Every structure is written in structure tokens, then in C-alpha cells.
Amino acid sequence: MSPGTLSMLFVMDPIGSIDIAKDTTFALMLAAQQRGHRVLYCELAELSVDDGRAVARIQPVELRREPGRHATLGAPRTVVLDDELDLVWQRKDPPVDQDFITATQILALCKRALVLNRPDTVIWANEKLYALGFADLMPETRVTRRIPELVDFLAKRGGEMIVKPLGGKGGEGVFHVRHDDRNLFSILETATGFGTCWAMAQQYLPAIREGDKRILLVDGEPLGALLRVPAAGETRANLHVGGSAVRAPIDARDLRIIERLRPALQRDGLFFVGIDVIGGMLTEVNVTSPTGIQEIDALEGVCLGDRVIAAAEARARRHRAARGL
């Protein structure tokens, strides 16, 4: 390997079960391989700690765009991450449960190896709540576990709202609620676990019928975007529940949001994120394992994975220089 070769570990869901036509982690791994880097793989359960050092049972992996033969794994080895790795990608999908938190805390022990996104930030930067630092860019929002407060919010927002769990992904548990829905209280009981879990309520934005724009950012700079248009009869625009991917320019309203977010993302070490925008309003900031690269590539004829890995190389060089490595 060349002197510029990096050892990159991807901590992720089981690689054998991913959809190689859609999975963003696969696109990043393939781009890293094509750029000559050493690509390694492990799951959360392979992480551990030895005398204060982050350790993992890792496997080298060779990627190819062949369904069913997309990954060939090498022999596993147990290594100290700071001894053998330059870069670690924490790409495990939500939920951000206790296993996810523990794994991320283990990765936070890395000093020499750069972890993206920054582990301590990922733990506290809930994908729904982080956006509330920019509440003036968002639809009106309420976070509570009290059902009467959700009913009051609904009444004051024209009788329609979106309710969603704080820890979900891919549209899971998202409800479009109307004041005259006979299932209203049943929905709110489900959303809050009968008042035991916080839920987020947001003003319903009719612009969702035109689409939910996913904008990918690298180090606070726009990488690309797509519009996810919900299917007829469906509120959620997520692609895996029938939403359609449509080309989407990044317009002036999007750039205003990005300009506001950039300093915070850079300060907090959120290198690769995906923001969701409906009708020019920010709804979420996805920091764990943002997706959309392959859909944008297909729509625009680009290779965003290559651009992300190139940016990560530059970040890794700065990381090493800052530590005198």
C-alpha cells in the first residue's frame, strides 16, 4: 500500500444483510477501497476495552457490486484501535439504545484513531433534539411525554400535527394526527408509551406532499440533495416505505439553514450529517448513520462516496498533525 493509505474500520450492522444498491455505508466502504485504503469491518458486539484502550475484533473486507457476493471477509484479529487504525466510522443504524451508547463510549477512548462522527457528540446529539438548537428554522415543535400537552399542541396548531419518537429511524412510529381522529388518544398513548416516553410533536407542513428534502453535509458544506416524495395515501416520505427519489437543487432557503448549522456542526465534530427540510423548514439533523448517497448518485450521475472519503482523508491528516503523529 502507498504511504497515503489509511486503515479504516467501519463499525456497522451485519454486512451480509445490507442492500448494496441503497446502503450508504457500503458506498463509503467501496469508495475507500477504490481509493486504495485498507477497509476493515466489525459490529458493535466486537468492541471491548482493555486497560483503558478501545479494542475490537476486526476483519478485513473486500467489496464488490455483486448481490450476494458483495463482501469477502478475511480472518478476524483482535487489535487495539489506536495501535492499528487511522480512521473509525461509527455507522451503526439507530436505535440509539444502551448497546449503541456503550459502543460509542468505547470508541470515545480512541486518541490516535479519528472517529467519525465524534463519539461524545453522537451520544448527546439526538437526531430530533439537536435541531431544536435552531428552533427558529423549524416548524413549531413540542417535546413532552404528557398526553394532555400533546392534545393542547394539536388544538393550537390547526388540528393537525406530526408525532414521532425521539429515537426512531426511517419513519418508524411517525403519525400524522388530526383532532377528529377517533384513534387520537390511542395514537398518543402509543407514541408516549402511556406517558412514559418523550415524543416530538411538530406542526403539520402541507409541503410534505411535495417532498421531504434530504441534504447531505460534509464538514458543514453541502454535498448533495434529493427529494423524497411520499406515495399516495402515505404521510411518510422515507424511501423504504414507498417514497420516490426525485432530483432536488439546493436552493436559497436550504443555504440559509446550512449557513446557520455549519459552525455548530464543525464545533461539535459532526463531520457527515443529513438534514431534513420540508417546505424550507428544518425538521431533523441526522448524525448517526445518514443515508442518501446512492440515491443522489443515481439521480445526478456522481460519486459522492469518493468525495466523502477524500474529505475524511484530509480530516485524518489534520487529526494526526494536531497530535504530532
Indicate if 214 belongs to the active site.
yes
Catalytic annotation, pick one of 164, 219, 254, 295:
164
Indicate if 156 belongs to the active site.
no
Residue 109 in grid coordinates: 477512548
> Using an 8 Å Cβ cutoff, are 88 and 249 in contact?
no
Residue 96 to residue 104: CA distance in whole angstroms: 10
Q: Which residue has the cell 462516496?
A: 305
Indicate if 164 belongs to the active site.
yes
Q: Name which of 138, 107, 139 is nearest 123 in CA terms.
A: 107
**Which residues, other chains included, contact 148 with Cβ-Cβ below 8 Å and sequence gap of 6+?**
none
Catalytic annotation, pick one of 92, 228, 238, 254:
228
Catalytic annotation, pick one of 35, 91, 128, 213:
128
Catalytic annotation, pick one of 91, 214, 295, 315:
214
Indicate if 128 belongs to the active site.
yes
Q: Name which of 14, 25, 23 is nearest 239 in CA terms.
A: 23
Residue 205 to residue 187: CA distance in whole angstroms: 19
Catalytic annotation, pick one of 23, 212, 284, 313:
284
Catalytic annotation, pick one of 35, 236, 238, 315:
236
Query: One-letter amino acid identity for 134?
Result: F
Catalytic annotation, pick one of 117, 126, 238, 286:
286
DSSP state of 324: T
Catalytic annotation, pick one of 254, 276, 295, 313:
276
Q: Which residues are catalytic?
A: 128, 164, 214, 228, 236, 276, 284, 286
